[in-house]
Every structure is written in C-alpha cells, then in structure tokens.
Structure 1
Amino acid sequence: MVVFKKILDFYINSSLHVALSAFALVSMTQYFFGIDGDFSVALFAFFGTVVGYNFVKYDAIARLNRTEIKKELKAIVFLSFISLLACFYFFLQLSWATKLSAFAFFGLTLLYTLPFFPNKQNARNWKGVKIYIVGITWVGVTVILPLVEAGIPFSMDVLLMAMQRFLLVFSIVLVFDIVDVKHDDIQLQTVPQKIGVELTKRLGYLLLFLLLILEFFYTNNHHFLPFFFKLLVCGTIAIFLFFANENRSRYYASFWLESVPILWWLVLVVF
C-alpha cells in the first residue's frame, strides 16, 4: 500500500492526472463536433497541461520555499522536460491559426504565474480572478484549439460549447475552493471565502443546471446522447459538491473529482 500511495501521489503531483482530464475534454469536443482521427491537439493539450501545471505549482513552491516534495521534485522536473519536448513536437504539427491561438492561452498561463508589473502580484493572487482565468484557459485549450485546428467556423454551437465548458470548469473549481477554504490565503477571495460554503454549493448547482439548459439551444447534431452524457457528468459533479467540505482529503478533488471528465470520455469510447 505504501508503494501504491507513492505512485498515486507522484501521478497527481506530476500533473499527469489533470493532463489526462485535458486530453479527455479535447476528445469530447472532437466527438461532439464529429472530428475524427486527429490526436495532435489532444496530445498537445496533454503534454502542455503537464508543463503548464507543473510550472504553476512548483514556481509557487519555490517562491514559498517549501521543501516537503523535494524527493520527487527531480523526477517531476525530468518528466516536465520530456513533456515540454513532446509538447513542442505536437505544437509543430498544428496549423498556424491553432499555433497563434495556443500562444494566446499560453500568455494567460504566464500572467497567472509570473508578476509582470513592478511591485504587483501575479494574477493567481488577484482577488477573485483565479477562477475566471482557469476557466477561460480550459475553454481555450479544450474547446477553441481543437475546433480551430479542424477549421470549424465560429457559430452558435461553438459559443454554446465554450459556455458549457466554462460552467463545467467553474463548478469543478468551486469544489476545489471548498476543500481548500481553510488553507487558501484570505487575500485570494475565493468564492467560498466571500459567500460561504453553502451558498457556493448552491451556486455550483445553478451553474450545472444552466449547463444542461444550454444543451437545448444547439442548432446542429442535437440528439439524446450528448445530453445524456452531460447529464451524467453534471450529476456526478453535483454529488461531489454536495459532499465537499474543508475536511476532505487531498484525493477528494485532486484525484476523484478530476477523474470525472476521464470517466465521461471512457464511457463514450466504450459505448
């Protein structure tokens, strides 16, 4: 069990799990828009997420001088370097339009991590901003990039997918914020810090309900299967919201909750 726990911790700490979620969400976007046989964007998102998340997490740790993960840090740095090479390889496979879009969302990641203005904090520490930057970045990587790469023009359906993905990510981040409410710096002004845990849960339920309502406004290829799977994932996240509290273990959100998009994708692959 000790060995298994170490492997699981490395899998989570190295951002492989969240990267697999990004891969799954890109694949879901491609499925719902009928895009077949193109794994370049999904693999670019996977390796880019490993690099981006590790950069954000361990830059913050270096700034705070924390040392508790020093033993596995070298392995994570090595994995991040390999992922950077793979990310660059798949980046070269993308069209110029997709590359330019990727640069825009990469800029958001840098803004989130690095203090660009003298005597100013990075965007991660701006009051109430973190959740919006995270949501927009995930929409960009998992919705905009695969659709731009496939040459799908902007339409109402694209806008609806982007809105649904933002609501999905926003709801997931709410669970993280509830679990971390005791540990987050009060300066962050996360949603549960501002309105309390119970109101945050109600907000999450409302956002998930809006996500499902938006499904009925699609103009093309609307059928029962997409709604069924989105109902499945929204119901699962609602359950996580209901049972979320500040005493949950780190695995509650970082492993089990982030498994929801992966599970959603696997169900589609199987059926």
Structure 2
Amino acid sequence: MVIFKKILDFYINSSLHVAFSAFALVSMTQYFFGVQGDLSVAWFAFFGTVVGYNFVKYDAIARLNKTEIKKELKAIVFLSFISFLSCFYFFLQLSWETKLSAVAFFGLTLLYTLPFFPNKQNARNWKGIKIYIVSLTWVGVTVVLPLQEASVAFSFDVILMAIQRFLLVFSLVLVFEIVDVKFDDPHLQTVPQRIGVRLTKKLGYILLFMLLLLEFFYYDNHHFLPLLFKLLVCITIAVFIYFANENRSRYYASFWVESIPILWWLVLVVI
C-alpha cells in the first residue's frame, strides 16, 4: 500500500495525470470536429503539459526554498527533460502556423511563472489573474492548436468550442481554489478568497449551465451524443463542486477532479 501511494504521488507530482487530461481534451476537440488520425498535437500537448506544469510548480518551490520533494525531484527533472525532448520532436511535426500559436501559449506560461520586469511579480501573483491565464492557456492548447493543425476554418462553432472549453476549465479550477483556500496566499485574491466558498460554488454551477446552453447554438445542433456527454461531464463537475471544501485531501482535486476529462474521453473511446 505504501508503494502504491508513492507511485500515485509521483504520478501526480510529476504532472503525468494533468498531462493525460490535456491529451484527452485535445482528442475530444478533434472528435467533435471530425479530425482523425493526427496525434501530433495531442502528444505535443501531453509532453508540453508535463514540462510546463513541472516548470511552474518546481520553479516556485525553488524560490521558496522548499525541500519536501527532494527525494523524487531528480526523477521529476529527468522525466521533464525526456518530456521536453519529446515535446520538441512533436513540435517539429506541426505546421508553421501551429508552431507560432504554440510559441505564443508557451510565452503565456512563462508570463505566469517568471517576472518579466525588474522588481515586479510574475502573473501568477497578480491579484485574481491566475484562473484566467490558466483557462486561456488550456483553451489555446486543447482547442486552438488541434483545430489550427487540422486546417479547420475559423467559424462560429470554433468560437463556441473555445468558450465552452474556457468555462469547463474555469469551473474545474474553482474546485482547486476551494480546496486550497486555506493555503493560498491572500494576496492572490482567488475567487473563493474574494467572494467566499458558497458564492464560488454558485458561480461554478452558473458557468456549467452556460456551457450546456451554448451547445444549442452550434450550426449543426442535432448532435445528441456530444450534448449527452457534455451534460454528463457538467453533472460530474457540479457534484465535485458541491462536495468541495477546504478540508478535502489533495487527491480530491489533483487526482479525482483532473480525472474528469480523461474519463469523458475514455467513455467515448469505448463507445
């Protein structure tokens, strides 16, 4: 049991779990727009997520001089290096237009992590901005990149997908912010810190309702299967929001909540 916990902790701490979520969301975008046979963007998103998230997490730990994960840090660094090489390989497979967009979203990740101006904080520490940068980055990687690589024409349906993905990620991040409300720096001004946990949960329900409502605005709106699956995923997220509180274990958000996109994708694969 101890060995299993160590493996699970490494799986989460090394960002492999969140990377599978990114892979799943890219695959879902491709499914809904009928894109088949191109896994370059999905694997680029997977390995790029490992690199990006580990850079964000462990850069912060280094700045705070924390040493709790020192034993597994070398393994995570090695995994991140392999992921960087793999990410670069799949980056080379992308079209030049997609490469430019990928670089732009990578720049957004750097903005989130590194201070670009002397004596200034990084974007992660700007009041209330964290959740928007995270959501926009996920929209870019899991919606813009796969559709751009597949040469899907810019349309109203693409805009709808981007908005829905933003609402989905935003609602998922709300769960993290509720669970971490006691540990987040008050300066961050996360949503629960500003409006309280109860109103944050109501906001999450509203965003999920808006996500479902937008499904009826697609040009081809007689697609029952996508609506059904988005309904199921919204209900699942709503349940996690309802039971979220500051006393939940870290696995509640870091494993179970991040498993929702993976489960959503696996069910479609099985069907």
With normalisation by structure 2, the TM-score equals 0.99
Aligned to 1:33: 33
Q: Does the 8 Å CA contact 2:215/2:221 hold for their aligned counterparts?
A: no
Distance 2:131 2:222 in 1: 30
Aligned to 1:88: 88
Aligned to 2:269: 269
1:1-271 → structure 2 map (5 Å cutoff) = 1-220=1-220, 222-271=222-271
Q: What whole-Å deviation, never above 9, does each CA across 1:10-49 have from its counterpart, x for those lacking one?
A: 0000000000000000000000000000000000000000
SS of corresponding position for 2:183: coil
Q: What whole-Å deviation, never above 9, does each CA across 1:187-246 have from its counterpart, x for those lacking one?
A: 000000000000000000000000000000000364100000000100000000000000
Q: Is there any run of 5+ residues in structure 1 with no aligned partner, and where?
A: none
Structure 2 counterpart of 1:225, one-letter code: L
Shift in Å, 1:107:
0.4
Distance 1:161 1:104 in 2: 20
Distance 1:154 1:64 in 2: 43
**Number of matched residues?**
271
SS of corresponding position for 1:62: helix
Distance 2:56 2:21 in 1: 17
Q: Identity of counterpart residues, as a percentage?
A: 84
Structure 2 counterpart of 1:179, one-letter code: V
SS of corresponding position for 2:108: helix
Shift in Å, 1:153:
1.3
Moved over 2 A (4+): none
SS of corresponding position for 1:78: helix
Distance 2:17 2:220 in 1: 32
Structure 2 counterpart of 1:76, one-letter code: I
With normalisation by structure 1, the TM-score equals 0.99
Q: Is there any run of 5+ residues in structure 2 with no aligned partner, and where?
A: none
Structure 2 counterpart of 1:251, one-letter code: Y
Distance 1:148 1:222 in 2: 25
